[in-house]
Amino acid sequence: SQKIEQNSEALNIQEGKTATLTCNYTNYSPAYLQWYRQDPGRGPVFLLLIRENEKEKRKERLKVTFDTTLKQSLFHITASQPADSATYLCALDKSGGSYIPTFGRGTSLIVHP
Amino acid sequence: DTGVSQNPRHKITKRGQNVTFRCDPISEHNRLYWYRQTLGQGPEFLTYFQNEAQLEKSRLLSDRFSAERPKGSFSTLEIQRTEQGDSAMYLCASSPAVPGYGYTFGSGTRLTVV
C-alpha cells in the first residue's frame, strides 16, 4: 500500500542550528513533492514544491532535496528561530491524471531560544 | 483577494444533526479540495472539484458526506446525521488547474459533535 512517513516524534533543536526533517514514501511515483507549515488550529501554509526531475530547491532559509531512488525528501531550515516552531507536513502529487495531494502526518519542530 | 475563506470557523452540533460548511476559494483557482484532519494526523483527502465538476468523490467517508460547487465558485460540504466520530477540522484548499503549484488552504472549520 502507499505510505508517506514522517517522524512522529518532535524534533527539538537550539536556536541558530539547522533543522532537518525527513519524508519517506513507498509505492508512489510522485510528480511533485511539497512541504507545508501548519500552526495549531490553522490550515497548512505552502512553503516549497520540488519536481521529480529536480534534486534540490531553495527559498531563503529553506532547502528541500528530493531523491526518487531513495524515495525520500529532506527539508532543512537553516539558522532556525523560535518562530519556526510548528508542524511541517510533506505532500505528494501523483503524475498522470488527477493531481490529488496526499499528506504525511507531519513532524513537530520545536526551536528553543 | 484575501485567500481561501471558510465559514464557520467553529461549529458545535448535537449528534444526529446536519451541518454544512462553506468554502470560498481564490477566485482564479479552478480546483477546490476538501480535507479532514484529526489531532496528530495529516489532512485526509475527501473530494475535489475542477470548476463545477466533482472529479473524485469515492473517498468521502460515507454516504452521509456530500459536497457541491454549483457555479464553480464557492463550495459546500454537508454532513448529515452527524456522529461523534465526525468531530475534526475540515479544511478546504484551492489551486490552479495546471499542476505544479502549491495549494492554498483556508483556516478550516472545527466541528465538535456532542
Reported as a pLDDT band with limits 50, 70 and 90, residue B1 is low
Whether residue B91 and residue A106 make contact (CB cut-off 8 A), yes or no, is no
How high is the mean pLDDT of chain A?
Answer: 91
Least confident of A7-21, B4-18, B81-95, B97-111: B97-111
Tell me the nearest-neighbour CA distance from B66 into chain A, angstroms: 18
Q: Are A64 and A23 within 8 A, CB to CB?
A: no
pLDDT at A28: 77
Contact residues on chain A for B102, CB-CB shorter than 8 A: 34, 36, 46-49
Whether A105 sits inside 8 A of B108 (CB atoms) is no
Q: In the predicted model, is pLDDT for residue A97 greater than 60?
A: no
Query: In this predicted model, what pLDDT tens digit does every residue of B67-86 receive, in sequence order?
Result: 999 888 999 999 999 999 99
Q: pLDDT tier at A52 (50, 70, 90 boundaries)?
A: confident
Contacts of residue B105, Cβ cutoff 8 Å, sequence gap at least 6: A36, A43, A44, A45, A46, B4, B91, B92, B93
pLDDT in tens, B26-57: 999 999 999 999 999 999 999 999 999 988 87
- Mean pLDDT, chain B, rounded, equals 93
| B98 reaches A (C-beta below 8 A) | no
B6-21: average pLDDT? 98
Q: Determine, for residues B55 and A98 on separate chains, whether the beta-carbon distance falls below 8 Å.
A: yes
Say whether pLDDT at A105 is over 80: yes
